[in-house]
């Protein structure tokens, strides 16, 4: 094992009830568990704080108790916008506040031992890290979504700008890393998220239940799930679909299910159950035999990771590199996005063949070991090691010289 | 104890004192800490050695300097010396004029370690320093397709494509690996990289590739002394390259790796040779002939299969060099270049129904296979896309008048001798296409070429502005039967020296700006002119103007005013003519104008053709004399559209204005998205076929798409006021899939009326069918029956339509087996083009250009299709249908089981199709009942009255119009009737 280090994980906020915060606390626990001194920094406080299994093994800091300046930096595009005095004033206010936060961050960093690493988990948090004094540290920037999702949003420009000079930029899958590398981010690499559940019980895979866990929103595609389920339940009336989660589309989806005659009572006419938010995912997974992921867009779906850990075969739309990285040939089925008929066919194939379910489920449990905390930690260790590999003799390779991504040529004499 | 560095970067330098520090800085800045730099100075004479020593002294332990005692003249010995001096576990190479990416060492080191590879390779970007930063073409990646994604390859045989990347610099080599295999660069030969990388690839047990850029190759093209490997002008250089290739061939041959050798030679033909050939035009004749001799010598040693495996045009070039036909070879090399729409500078010949490159008859089976360019479709392309070469044979000035002459190639006699010809020479400012001087030219048909000739006074015909238009070029526009063929004038066989001819001109600005256009030949071999001045006064004025423009003040002024003004002008023009603007103006302004009663806008397939349902509704309205003011939209050419309607180009202001004021929209596909239809307008959506394939919201692509995309589709369908349906099937599938909520008019399709009624009552259509029959050469005396082959498009591996439609039966086979009895009419989907060789004409006809399919259906005696919706229409004729579904095309998801409900036999192979056609009549008795059931099911409402039903439902009948009768406008509105002027 590598020597203990100081690790700073900087998030937009460290205490909201979100997937990213869950990941951050999990990683902090893992690193602290083997001796690293970990500080989890939230730029601001979350709106509804949640403990995330905080166990005191790592410190948690917040830079701004409240963030009232504009969330985004001011980027005037036209002359008229440039003349907007109030926007300019708000931006000055923002910058001043940001500098105060960054100074606080610098204090934290100053106490770090040599060989320390700063992980900016989100690009917004990276703005503070960039302003802070990181000399002697190595900075890692992370993007927790797929390349395509970033490309389609305003984050793309900010990632290009703020992560250009970090020592390493991390995404979740090799495919996303390659896409960023083609895009010119030569510092990109990938480390997947670690599995954060340890199943005590496993589903028997003979209950006639398909589970679908996710927010009830358009991109999670529960409407497609219901469409596919119409076909499935017609031929397999004994099987039930459990939909877990809540969200803005809840009413509409219930109406869709009711219209298709899938709601209410038992038997073929009521084969769909909306079960709301589940506190412990184990409850949902142990009584299912098949897991379905009908999403239109995903990053690195932790729900699939969990389902695999519980030994459930998965049917999913092939919607993102994260899904492809998780599901191989023999752990489930990947279906062309939007092809609900094929989705139904794959579900039926698993429904009709208990042996196939078992085979795929067992394969999933084995395959998920790729994301075992130890394996993922090893990757982190290797990264820290690569970033701090100095030649023992000669001048200390302290601060690496930061230049642009494109070689600077203007200053040349030729 | 000294810890071994992870990576050693060997930086080689020769007389490069100014750039060496920059290169070394790029190794010192590496994000990987354990990097050692070894500078090898190849006995420089400009102080590079001292610089190297100083760098080493400044970074002890990280930089070392090694000096060669005498200059080696290449890159081989310095790199070998560097390898010997290196301590790192991996070795990389950097030239003193290039730069490493900041993360190059880390990325390559990590990739090699993770994969346990002997060799790791990353992307190399060439940065063209002559191109301004940020401009297009400044950064050009080197073989990016090799570096799309990270990969680990085993032995080279698994992935011979690696041989394309022959750079040694974008890679990290395990030092022990180099030693184990004794891998070193050859010395005293250029292109040592090629041999070194070939040996390294071959020896590596494992090779790791990463898509990250690792190396910045800085290229300076406009320089008095290009770097060693870019000096292609030197013939010895090419000889070196061939020598290296011979050694690589030998290396592979010794290992018995004949497949690899061939793969490498294919790369030589595709890349190395093509690179030289494309530059050959600029070289002097002596160089050219010696070069071609050298090349021919090497090409003769290659396995003939190399020519077959290489890309077609480079293969033709290589093959013809071997055969000694240099002109045609160079034309092929140029045609195969990176130019988007290349010129055709060689003659083509047609033999045995195929098209071949060059004038000579191709010899032997190899020659026939290599030179066959039938698939390029030169015999089918529209004339304007043919881009034949134009060679100038005369360019002189005598007594102030310019005399020019030349010839345009007429490949395959595409321009017929009886064609009506006229020609114009167009001189144009290269930066501003609008500034032109036009001169008429005489043009004469001479068989395989068109000769042209012009004489004019340039002072009157060409009027440059002066200062702002320094470069002019010239084109010849030949009008062939109304179709324009634009060619660029160039040099070629028979050309006199074209450079240095001076055309006297009078610039508009002032005679001080310039007084003549001086000709020169561009790098691409075209004739161009530069605006120059001959008198001392003019030269003085010119240099003053230039100095003013390049002075700090001038630059500032240009930057502040000139450039910004130009940018603004462009931006304004772009904004004003953009579709977004037009749609916004349509929605906010145009659709507030009063509706013109009786104004109907017709469109078929986004304006592509005058055909389909809108055409037959239009004809019915005309026939019944209804007072309709008709506007037809066309996409690119108004040819073929009715003369008695107003024609507007789709997307033009006139188009949007017509749509805004129209009382009716009649269309079979869709008007531009985003147009809000006003309530006064009635949108009659006829659609263009019953559905087998999933439509609208039923398509997986739409289902998985964004909510915004689905909303867009919904909005555009919500505009319909009427939707024509042919059967209950349409209602369940098409209407449900598209989400149609408008009135469904169960009228059947107007285009199918003639299929039900026949053409007897419609002399106009009967004449159209007869004309078509004649133009296809299917006269009554022929006796053969016409079979229409009309499949929908096949989807390629990338999800895009496959552009080329091959006939379902090879022309030779068809002629032999069925040629006595049938003629095949090949009708590709409008997104595709039929690939029929000229030899197929005896038994096959390309009917892709026939605008309307209905007459084709009428004259076809049988139909071959796949799951195209044409089967639903053709079934109404109760003539045989064969479904040809090769390669599992029926596995496309559809609304019903095609196999179960097929209106005729299903064939999967060419042989089955031949058999089905041969036994068409005998089998028909068995298929007829199914077909009739099919027609009844899908053509439920097609009763031959569709057009009339639509007209009666939406258009008030014509009333006899009395002369002198004047009606008040208010009267119409009160009565709600829509009379316009009758056409």
Q: What is the pLDDT of residues B860-901, one digit of tens each?
A: 999 999 888 899 999 998 899 998 888 755 466 788 888 888
What domains lie within chain B, and their CATH numbers? 7-229 (3.90.550.10), 258-343 (no CATH), 385-534 (2.60.40), 582-748 (3.40.50.11820), 764-938 (3.40.50.12580)
Scanning the structure block, which residue is given the tokens 């709601």?
Answer: A263
**A368 CB-contact burial (10 Å; exposed 0-12 / middle 13-18 / buried 19+):** buried
B104 to chain A nearest CA, in Å?
Answer: 8
Q: Do B704 and A337 touch (CB under 8 A)?
A: yes
% of chain B beyond a pLDDT of 70 = 94
Please, which residues 149-208 of chain A have a Cβ atom closer than 8 Å to chain B? 167-168, 174-175, 177-178, 181-182, 184, 186-189
What per-residue confidence (pLDDT) applies to B25? 93
Q: Do B18 and A413 touch (CB under 8 A)?
A: yes
Residue of chain B whose alpha carbon sits nearest to that of A337: B704
What per-residue confidence (pLDDT) applies to A8? 95
The 3-state DSSP class for residue B152 equals strand
Q: How many CB atoms lie within 10 A of CB A71?
A: 9
Q: Which residue, among B18, B88, B138, B212, would best test binding to A if mutated, counting the most A CBs under 10 Å from its CB?
A: B212
Q: Which of A184, A389, A412 sits opposite B33 (nearest CB)?
A: A389
Q: Which of B33, B129, B212 sits opposite A391 (nearest CB)?
A: B33
Q: How many CB atoms lie within 10 A of CB A226?
A: 24
Pairing of the two strands B449-456 and B436-445:
antiparallel
The answer to whether A37 contacts chain B (CB < 8 Å) is: no
Sign of the four-CA dihedral B516, B519, B522, B528 = positive
A67 to chain B nearest CA, in Å?
Answer: 32
pLDDT tops 70 at residue B976: no
For the segment A174-192, what is each residue's pLDDT rounded down to a tens digit?
999 999 999 999 999 999 9
Q: Do B218 and A175 touch (CB under 8 A)?
A: no
The answer to whether A388 contacts chain B (CB < 8 Å) is: yes
Of how many residues is chain A composed? 414
Mean pLDDT for B735-762 is: 89
What per-residue confidence (pLDDT) applies to A118? 95
Expressed in percent and rounded to 5, the helix, strand and coil fractions of chain B are 40, 20, 40
- Pick from B565, B556, B554: which is nearest to B467 by CA? B554
* Domain A209-370, classified CATH 3.40.50.2300, yes or no: no
B31 to chain A nearest CA, in Å?
Answer: 7
Phi and psi angles of residue A108, each rounded to the nearest 5 degrees, phi first: -60, -45
What per-residue confidence (pLDDT) applies to A54? 83
> What is the ipTM for the molecules in this complex?
0.90
Residue of chain A whose alpha carbon sits nearest to that of B210: A178
Please, which residues 213-232 of chain A have a Cβ atom closer than 8 Å to chain B? 218, 221, 224
For the segment B331-380, what is each residue's pLDDT rounded down to a tens digit?
888 887 767 778 888 888 888 888 898 877 777 888 888 888 888 888 88
Q: Which residue, among B37, B111, B700, B713, would best test binding to A if mutated, counting the most A CBs under 10 Å from its CB?
A: B700
Residue environment code for B816-831, b if the CB has 16+ CB neighbours within 10 A, otherwise e: ebbbeebbbbbbbbbe
What per-residue confidence (pLDDT) applies to A330? 77
What per-residue confidence (pLDDT) applies to A379? 92
What per-residue confidence (pLDDT) applies to B891? 60
What per-residue confidence (pLDDT) applies to A267? 47
Contact list, A407 vs chain B (CB under 8 Å): 26, 99, 127, 216, 218
How far apart CA B164 and CA B141 sit, in angstroms, is 13
Q: Do A403 and B101 touch (CB under 8 A)?
A: no
Please, which residues 285-344 of chain A have a Cβ atom closer than 8 Å to chain B? 296, 317, 319, 336-341
Q: How many CB atoms lie within 10 A of CB A212?
A: 27
Phi and psi angles of residue A366, each rounded to the nearest 5 degrees, phi first: -70, -40
Give, as one character, the DSSP assignment of residue B681. Answer: S
Query: How far is residue B682 from each of residues B644, B981, B982, measured CA to CA in Å?
Result: 22, 19, 19
% of chain B beyond a pLDDT of 90 = 34
The answer to whether A362 contacts chain B (CB < 8 Å) is: no
Write out the two tokens for B869: 């919706």
Residue of chain A whose alpha carbon sits nearest to that of B145: A182
**A&B contacts, CB < 8 Å:** 124
B238 to chain A nearest CA, in Å?
Answer: 29
A202 to chain B nearest CA, in Å?
Answer: 32
Write out the two tokens for B899: 């196999």
Contact list, B110 vs chain A (CB under 8 Å): 189, 386
Which helix (H) or strand (E) is A213 found in, with range? Answer: strand A209-213
Confidence of residue A308 (pLDDT cuts 50, 70, 90): very high
How far apart CA B411 and CA B409 sit, in angstroms, is 6
Q: Which of B18, B29, B700 sits opposite A414 (nearest CB)?
A: B18
How far apart CA B643 and CA B659 sit, in angstroms, is 19
Q: What is the CA radius of gyration of chain B?
A: 35
How far apart CA B462 and CA B547 sit, in angstroms, is 27
% of chain A beyond a pLDDT of 70 = 92
Q: At how many degrees (to 10) do helices A340-352 and A222-235 cross? A: 50
Scanning the structure block, which residue is given the tokens 């004339």?
Answer: B383
Give, as one character, the DSSP assignment of residue B407. Answer: E
For the segment B685-721, what is each residue's pLDDT rounded down to a tens digit?
999 988 888 888 888 888 888 888 889 999 999 999 9
Q: Do B149 and A412 touch (CB under 8 A)?
A: no
Contact list, A153 vs chain B (CB under 8 Å): none
Write out the two tokens for B279: 């530059």
Which helix (H) or strand (E) is A39 found in, with range? Answer: strand A37-44
Q: How many CB atoms lie within 10 A of CB B233?
A: 12
DSSP of A232-290: HHHH-TT-EEEEE---TTHHHHHHHHHHTT-SSSSSGGG-EEEEE--SSHHHHHHT-SE
Confidence of residue A400 (pLDDT cuts 50, 70, 90): very low
Q: Do B18 and A412 touch (CB under 8 A)?
A: yes
Please, which residues 52-91 of chain A have a Cβ atom closer than 8 Å to chain B? none
Q: At how many degrees (to 10) do helices B312-323 and B364-371 cross? A: 140
Give, as one character, the DSSP assignment of residue B194. Answer: H
- Pick from B290, B300, B291, B294: which is nearest to B322 by CA? B300
DSSP of B757-803: H-STT-HHHHHHHHHHHHHTT--GGG-PEEEEE---PPB-TTSSBPS
Give every CB contact of residue B302 below 8 A, 6+ residues apart in sequence: B265, B269
For the segment B573-620, what is each residue's pLDDT rounded down to a tens digit?
888 888 889 999 999 999 899 999 889 999 999 998 898 999 999 999
Average pLDDT of chain A to the nearest whole number? 87
- Pick from B171, B164, B205: which is nearest to B79 by CA? B171
Give every CB contact of residue B416 below 8 A, 6+ residues apart in sequence: none
Sign of the four-CA dihedral B150, B156, B158, B160 = positive
Residue of chain A whose alpha carbon sits nearest to that of B20: A412
CATH superfamily of domain region A6-194+375-387: Glycogen Phosphorylase B; (3.40.50.2000)
For the segment B197-238, what is each residue's pLDDT rounded down to a tens digit?
999 999 999 999 999 999 999 988 765 555 555 555 677 888
CATH 3.40.50.2000 intervals, chain A: 6-194+375-387, 209-370
Scanning the structure block, which residue is given the tokens 């005696």?
Answer: B861
Contact list, A174 vs chain B (CB under 8 Å): 149-150
What per-residue confidence (pLDDT) applies to A136? 86
Q: Which of B30, B148, B216 sits opposite A407 (nearest CB)?
A: B216
Average pLDDT of chain B to the nearest whole number? 86
Helix/strand number for chain B, H first, E second: 35, 37
Mean pLDDT for B951-967 is: 65
For the segment B4-60, what is each residue's pLDDT rounded down to a tens digit?
899 999 999 999 888 999 999 999 999 988 899 999 999 989 889 999 999 999 998
A178 to chain B nearest CA, in Å?
Answer: 5
pLDDT tops 60 at residue B775: yes
What per-residue confidence (pLDDT) applies to A404? 37
What per-residue confidence (pLDDT) applies to B27? 93
How far apart CA B485 and CA B263 sit, in angstroms, is 40
């Amino acid at each position: 094992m590598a020597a203990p280090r100081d690790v700073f994980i900087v998030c937009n906020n460290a205490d909201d009830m979100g997937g990213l915060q869950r990941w951050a606390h999990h990683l902090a626990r893992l690193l602290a568990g083997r001796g690293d001194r970990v500080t989890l920094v939230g730029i601001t406080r979350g709106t509804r704080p949640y403990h995330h299994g905080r166990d005191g093994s790592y410190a948690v800091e917040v830079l701004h108790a409240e963030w009232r300046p504009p969330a985004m930096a001011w980027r005037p595009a036209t002359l008229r916008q440039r003349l907007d005095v109030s926007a300019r004033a708000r931006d000055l206010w923002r910058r001043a506040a940001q500098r105060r936060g960054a100074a606080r961050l610098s204090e934290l960093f100053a106490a770090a031992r040599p060989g320390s690493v700063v992980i900016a988990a989100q690009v917004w948090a990276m703005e503070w890290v960039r302003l802070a004094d990181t000399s002697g540290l190595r900075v890692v920037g992370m993007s927790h979504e797929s390349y395509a999702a970033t490309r389609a949003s305003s984050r793309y420009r900010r990632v290009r700008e703020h992560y250009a000079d970090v020592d390493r930029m991390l995404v979740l899958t090799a495919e996303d890393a390659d896409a960023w590398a083609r895009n010119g981010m030569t510092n990109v690499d990938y480390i997947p998220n670690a599995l954060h559940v340890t199943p005590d019980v496993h589903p028997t895979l003979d209950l006639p239940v398909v589970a679908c866990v996710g927010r009830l929103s358009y991109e999670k595609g529960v409407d497609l799930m219901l469409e596919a389920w119409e076909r499935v339940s017609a031929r397999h009336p004994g099987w039930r679909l459990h939909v877990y989660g809540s969200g803005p589309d809840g009413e509409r989806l219930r109406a869709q299910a009711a219209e298709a005659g899938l709601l209410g009572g038992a038997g073929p006419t009521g084969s769909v159950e909306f079960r709301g938010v589940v506190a412990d995912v184990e409850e949902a997974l142990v009584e299912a035999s098949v897991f379905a992921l009908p999403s239109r867009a995903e990053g690195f779906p932790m729900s699939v990771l969990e389902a695999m850990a519980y030994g459930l075969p998965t049917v999913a739309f092939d919607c993102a590199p994260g899904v492809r990285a998780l599901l191989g040939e023999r752990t489930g089925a990947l279906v062309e996005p939007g092809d609900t008929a094929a989705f139904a066919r794959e579900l039926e194939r698993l429904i009709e063949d208990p042996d196939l379910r078992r085979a795929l489920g067992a394969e999933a449990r084995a395959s998920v070991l790729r994301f075992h905390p130890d394996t993922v930690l090893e990757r982190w260790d290797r990264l820290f090691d690569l970033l701090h590999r100095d030649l023992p003799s000669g001048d200390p390779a302290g601060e690496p010289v930061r230049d642009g991504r494109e070689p600077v040529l203007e200053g040349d004499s030729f | 104890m000294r810890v071994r560095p992870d990576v050693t970067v060997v930086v080689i330098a020769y007389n490069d004192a100014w750039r060496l520090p920059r290169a070394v800085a790029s190794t010192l800045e590496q994000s990987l800490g354990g990097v050692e730099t070894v500078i090898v100075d190849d006995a420089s004479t400009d102080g590079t050695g001292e610089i190297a020593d100083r760098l080493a002294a400044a970074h002890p332990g990280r930089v070392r300097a090694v000096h060669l005692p005498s200059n080696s003249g290449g890159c081989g010995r310095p790199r070998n010396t560097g390898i010997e001096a290196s301590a790192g576990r991996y070795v990389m190479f950097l030239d003193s004029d290039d730069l490493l990416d900041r993360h190059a060492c880390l990325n390559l080191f990590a990739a090699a370690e993770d994969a346990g590879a002997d060799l790791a390779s990353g992307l190399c970007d060439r940065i063209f320093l002559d191109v301004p930063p940020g401009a297009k073409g400044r950064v050009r990646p080197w073989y990016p397709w090799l570096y799309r994604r990270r990969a680990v390859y085993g032995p080279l045989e698994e992935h011979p494509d690696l041989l394309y990347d022959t750079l040694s610099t974008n890679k990290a080599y395990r030092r022990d690996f180099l030693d184990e295999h004794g891998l070193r660069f050859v010395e005293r030969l250029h292109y040592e990289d090629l041999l070194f990388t070939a040996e390294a690839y071959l020896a590596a047990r494992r090779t790791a590739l990463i898509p990250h850029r690792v190396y910045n190759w800085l290229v300076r093209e406009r320089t008095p002394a290009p770097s060693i490997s870019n000096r292609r002008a030197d013939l010895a250089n090419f000889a070196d390259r061939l020598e290296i290739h011979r050694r690589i061939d030998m290396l592979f041959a010794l290992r018995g790796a004949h497949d690899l050798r061939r793969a490498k030679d294919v790369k030589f033909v595709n890349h190395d040779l093509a690179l030289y050939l494309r530059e050959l035009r600029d070289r002097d004749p002596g160089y050219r002939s010696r070069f071609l001799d050298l090349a021919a010598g090497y090409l003769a040693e290659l396995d003939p299969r190399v020519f077959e495996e290489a890309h077609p045009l480079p293969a033709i070039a290589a093959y013809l060099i071997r055969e000694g036909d240099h002109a045609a070879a160079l034309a092929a090399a140029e045609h195969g270049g990176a130019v988007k729409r290349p010129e055709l500078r060689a003659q083509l010949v047609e033999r045995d129904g195929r098209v071949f490159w060059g004038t000579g008859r191709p010899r032997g089976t190899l020659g026939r296979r290599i030179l066959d360019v039938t698939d390029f479709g030169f015999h089918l392309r529209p004339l304007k896309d043919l881009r034949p070469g134009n060679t100038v044979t005369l360019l002189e000035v005598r007594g102030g008048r310019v005399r020019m002459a030349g010839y345009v190639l007429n490949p395959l006699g595409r321009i017929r001798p009886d064609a009506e010809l006229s020609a114009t020479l167009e001189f144009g400012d290269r930066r501003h296409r609008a500034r032109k001087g036009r001169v008429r030219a005489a043009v004469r048909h001479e068989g395989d070429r068109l000769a042209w000739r012009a004489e004019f006074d340039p002072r009157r015909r060409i009027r440059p502005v002066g200062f702002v238009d320094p470069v002019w070029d010239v084109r010849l526009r030949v009008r062939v039967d109304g179709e324009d063929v634009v060619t660029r004038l160039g040099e070629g066989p028979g050309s006199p020296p074209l450079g240095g001819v001076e055309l006297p001109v009078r610039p508009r600005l002032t005679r001080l700006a310039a007084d003549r256009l001086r000709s020169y030949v561009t790098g691409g071999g075209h004739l161009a002119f530069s605006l120059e001045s001959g008198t001392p006064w003019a030269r003085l004025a010119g240099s003053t103007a230039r100095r003013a423009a390049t002075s700090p003040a001038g630059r500032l002024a240009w930057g502040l005013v000139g450039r910004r003004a130009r940018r603004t002008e462009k931006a304004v023009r772009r904004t004003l003519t953009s579709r977004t603007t037009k749609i916004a103006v349509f929605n906010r302004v145009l659709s507030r104008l009063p509706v013109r009663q009786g104004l109907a806008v017709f469109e078929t397939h986004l304006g592509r053709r005058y055909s389909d349902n809108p055409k037959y509704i239009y004809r019915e309205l005309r026939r019944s004399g209804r007072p309709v003011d008709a506007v037809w939209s066309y996409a690119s050419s108004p040819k073929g559209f009715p003369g008695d309607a107003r024609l507007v180009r789709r997307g033009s202001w006139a188009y949007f204005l017509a749509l805004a004021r129209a009382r009716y929209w009649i269309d079979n596909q869709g008007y531009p998205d985003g147009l809000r239809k006003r309530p006064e307008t009635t949108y009659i959506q006829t659609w263009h076929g019953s559905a087998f394939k999933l439509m609208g919201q039923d398509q997986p692509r739409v289902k998985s798409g964004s909510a915004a995309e689905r909303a867009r589709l919904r909005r555009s369908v919500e505009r319909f006021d009427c939707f024509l349906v042919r059967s209950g099937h349409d209602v369940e599938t098409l209407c449900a899939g598209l989400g149609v909520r408008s009135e469904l008019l169960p009228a059947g399709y107007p285009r199918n009326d003639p299929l039900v009624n026949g053409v007897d009552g419609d002399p106009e259509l009967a004449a159209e069918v007869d004309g078509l029959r004649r133009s296809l050469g299917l006269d009554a005396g022929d006796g053969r029956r016409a079979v229409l082959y009309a499949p929908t498009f096949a989807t390629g591996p990338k999800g895009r339509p496959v552009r080329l439609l091959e006939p379902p039966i090879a022309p030779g086979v068809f002629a032999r087996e069925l040629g006595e009895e049938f003629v095949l009419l090949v009708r590709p989907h409008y997104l595709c083009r039929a690939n029929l060789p000229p030899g197929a004409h005896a038994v096959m006809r390309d009917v892709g250009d026939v605008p309307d399919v209905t007459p084709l259906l009428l004259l076809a005696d049988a139909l071959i299709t796949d799951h195209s919706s044409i089967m639903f229409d053709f079934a109404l004729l109760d003539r045989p249908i064969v479904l040809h579904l090769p390669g599992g095309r029926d596995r496309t998801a559809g609304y019903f089981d095609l196999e179960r409900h097929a209106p005729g036999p299903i064939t999967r192979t060419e042989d089955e199709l031949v058999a089905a056609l041969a036994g068409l009549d005998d089998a028909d008795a068995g298929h007829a009942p199914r077909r009739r059931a099919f027609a009844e099911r899908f053509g439920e409402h097609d009763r031959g009255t569709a057009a009339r039903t639509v007209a009666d439902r939406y258009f008030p009948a014509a009333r006899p119009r009395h002369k002198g009768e004047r009606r008040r406008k208010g009267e119409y509105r009160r009565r709600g009737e829509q009379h316009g002027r009758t056409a």
